[in-house]
Structure 1
Amino acid sequence: MFSCPTGSLSRILLVAGAVGLGSSSLYGQNSPPPASAPPAAPISKIDIFLGYSYLAPHGTITTTLADGTLSPAKYSSVDYGAIGSGSYFFNKYVGAQVEIGVHPDGNNDGASTYSGGIIARYPTDEGITPFVHALAGGLRLGGPNYEPLASHAYTWGTALTVGGGLDYGLPWFDHHLALRLFQADYQYYHASFGPQPVTGGRANLNNARLSTGVVVKFGSIVPPPPVTYSCSASPASVFPGDPVTVTGSALNLNPKKTATYTWSGSGVKVTGDSTTGNVDTSSLSPGSYTVTGHVSEGQKPGQFADCTANFTVKDYEPPTITCSANPTTIKPGDTATITSQGVSPQNRPLTYSYTASAGQVSGTGTTATLTTTGAPAGSITVTCNVADDKGHTASATTSVNVEAPPPPPAPKTSTLCSITFGRDTKRPARVDNEAKACLDQVALSAQQTPDANVTVVGEAGPEPAPAKGKRKHAPVIANLAAQRAVNTKDYLVKEKGIDASRISVRTGTQSVDEVENYLVPAGATFDSDVSGTTAVDESTVKPQTRTPLGAKKAAHHKKKAAAAPAQ
């Protein structure tokens, strides 16, 4: 095994090619093309291969001799070898294989492999069958041969093989003979020759192996025709709840076996364990559905088949409805009668309901009552709804017009109490204590109506003549009516805390010594409600200080010419 015959690989390839071409020519000469296609060659169940094998290892092993010298040895080709294998096929393509390869060279350093694994083939109608295989097993490998330890020159190791080849079917022996044109394999060897020195070392070899020979075929794999299955649904279109029957028809069943039938469907309940199945559609929504049938007389390919059948569940037609109101125009708070009429094309039971955009509507039958209490004026839309027992609905609308109520009366100025100034002749513009009761009422009205204003109107009667024999002491006040109104406002602001901006001061034309008080609500116009008054320019008429009667001023004798007399 440590020789180097470099021409062996070329010779074995030439021999394999010549044998293959000769066999092909001979087969062509003895078997002229028939008028019709010949029957296909049988597919064997067992293949026995015997032949010649050439091994080309690649690798070295280094041994340390007793004197410490390193002695490398290079593995080289083995020209003379034999190979044999047996293959059992589970089906047309895949099987198991055992193989023995023997490559001695007569020098006690050959290689023998014993392997098993899987094989896959692809037979063709032309008789050409390519194949691949993968094997693993044991190895008996020769190593360095140094005396006196020659008995240790062989050892056991591991061998892995992957490769493939090509078989060519021959017409003889009823197509049970084939020529293996070639088999090319890669092999990996691993072996340990024990501890050194002398025979120690490990071998890890990469090998190329070429083989050729004859294949004898036994048995036949003839797959039966595959089972076929077809099915249909009847009727093909139904309403929910209507029954559907599916029927299947199987071909190529083995009469010696008992077929098993099953039915299934996505979202569909199907019962039955024969060629007929029943579909329950009561819980199905409208749409298209598929039922799948399965027939089986075994688990191998070709022994079972599936089929599908389609059917449609139709939706019930929705109901229709009409809606009307009587009367169509009503006053606020009145009622109107709503009438509806629903129709179902399939005469399904109907239920009614009502809604309104305003007001309240009540009723669950074909009539309802619309109540407009609290509803705003304008159009109210009433919706009449109908639903059947399958959940289909329809709606219609009608309108009821609620008349607008008459507008409320415009706010008016209301008269409050009046205060009198004729009692105090010395201070004719002073707001005295008797006026407090009236002004308290005015202030309370203003506080209770925060969005209202107060208008005070001052009046002044003719100046009284002095009594006979007496001198006139009452002061003369310019624009007495305006002064009385300004003093009244000043009392309401300072004594009662009314916001000055809410009090208007005016003078009237009546010849009386009093001030009239008015409450002017929001939205009311005083001049429209009370005529004959004039606004007071409060920049020229200032309020007088309210002093008790008999009080004296510090500078009594130094009066300003333009000042009004104190009150």
Structure 2
Amino acid sequence: MKVFAGMFATLAVAVAVVPMWLLPKAAPAQTAVVAPASRAEHHDTPKVEVFLGYSRFGTVSNNTVTGNRMVGLNGGSASVAFNFNRYLGIVGDFGGYDDSQLQLTGTGVNQPLVVNSSGTAYTYVFGPRLSFRNQSRFTPFAQVLAGGVHASAVTVNGCAGAGCAVLPVQNSFAFTGGGGLDIRLTHRISIRAVQAEYMLTRFEGVVNGISTGSSASQNDLRLSSGLLFAFGGKQLSPPVQLACSVQPGTLFSGDPVTATATATNLNSKRKVVYSWTTSGGVVSSTDSTATISTTHLASGSYTVSGHVSQGDHVNQKAGCTAAFTVQPFDPPTVTCSASPSNVMPGDSAAITAQATSPQNRPLSYSYTATAGVISGTTSTANLSTSGTAPGTITVTCNVVDDLGKTATATTSVSINTLPVAAAPQTRELCAISFERDRKRPVRVDNEAKACLDNIALELQRESAGKLVIVGNYGNGETPKMAAARAINERRYLTQEKGIDAGRIESRVGSASGRTTTNTFVPAGVIYNQGDSTAIPQP
């Protein structure tokens, strides 16, 4: 119990020497909503760390080394570490140990003997510590310390007399080297799972309770475990994170790109600074949204990078990258048509080119033809076939955009052969019967007049032709009756219908019946007289 009381006293002394400015200051009263702590939280390096734990010395192989007073000791240790940064600190280590058993050596009748004893030992060593801190809960460390050991006199329990003080009061140089592992439980408390150190001491040998004045090296192992208390550090906010996106991701040269950066874990009390760069195009912005101009940018893949900062600390900065693709422009398309597609020699045809650019580039038009003359520089052109022989003409419609991308289409125009005019032919018109009126067999009655009215219209429509009237006679009649019928028809047409008498020829036909036949004779056509004879004109 004396050793543990001394250990707590040592810890009190260690804490007392901590400079007050390294301890956390009281914060002003305030109301805040704090998110529950999680394993993903980030922690700053504590300025001071105080360790309190259990320690034990001993290595079986060194328990008989001359002057080794540390083997088998149990007790407690405390240390105070001042951290300069997250890696390097300086440590003061203090320990108190109880010497409750003593191994006595001897030969012959005085065989080696282990007896109960009373004594204490105190260590005080100082030196640097190297910690390997990260954002996890585990912090391994290594340290090299040097200092001294103060050992009290050791007496054998139950022994009386001067010879019972088998070990005198001694002081020795001490050196330790080793490391350990801390596991954080909370922001302020950690468990030191293990601290293992080699310890070198230089106690003098002792004979009959008196130091010989000749020192030797003692090698021991110290194992410790306990609690670690942190002061002066603070729980850090998680690092700033930044995500980037672009819209659209695929575009054509000249189209704008909008990049958006979304930052998380920002400190609302600090200024936020955004910056942008791009591997292609021109970027303009100073906030979370940027515009990239892709004018004259060649097709290919490019990236835009965003950066956000709220300070110089690594956790206060973040960057992100997004990709966009400039695709090549598509060529235009065109169809070609002709109206009409069949013409007579010398006629013209209208050519129409229906062209589109998928990206609405400006278009220019031109035309070629295998024959004839074509003219036009817009979406329509004119094909003249003057002087062109009958056949098929192939017309090509050409279109080109402002980037030099082209498209062509063809159509055809057929020039027809002029038809050969058919030779005009005589044609028979309506015939008139005189059988109805036996008393007046040459009279032009109403039915006859209806026929002659149609004939008059025909003669008026075709003013270059003439009419041949052939009168016929029946049984018991003479040719004079046939002539009278023809003359009466002629008189009706000239006097009643105003037909020029010079365009009407009257003839006498055969004894085929009491009728007249009327034949229209186009200009230039010779009438086939047959067996008829002309009637002299009056």
User: Quick check: TM above 0.5?
Assistant: no
- What TM-score results when the alignment is normalised by the length of structure 2? 0.40
TM-score by length of 1: 0.38
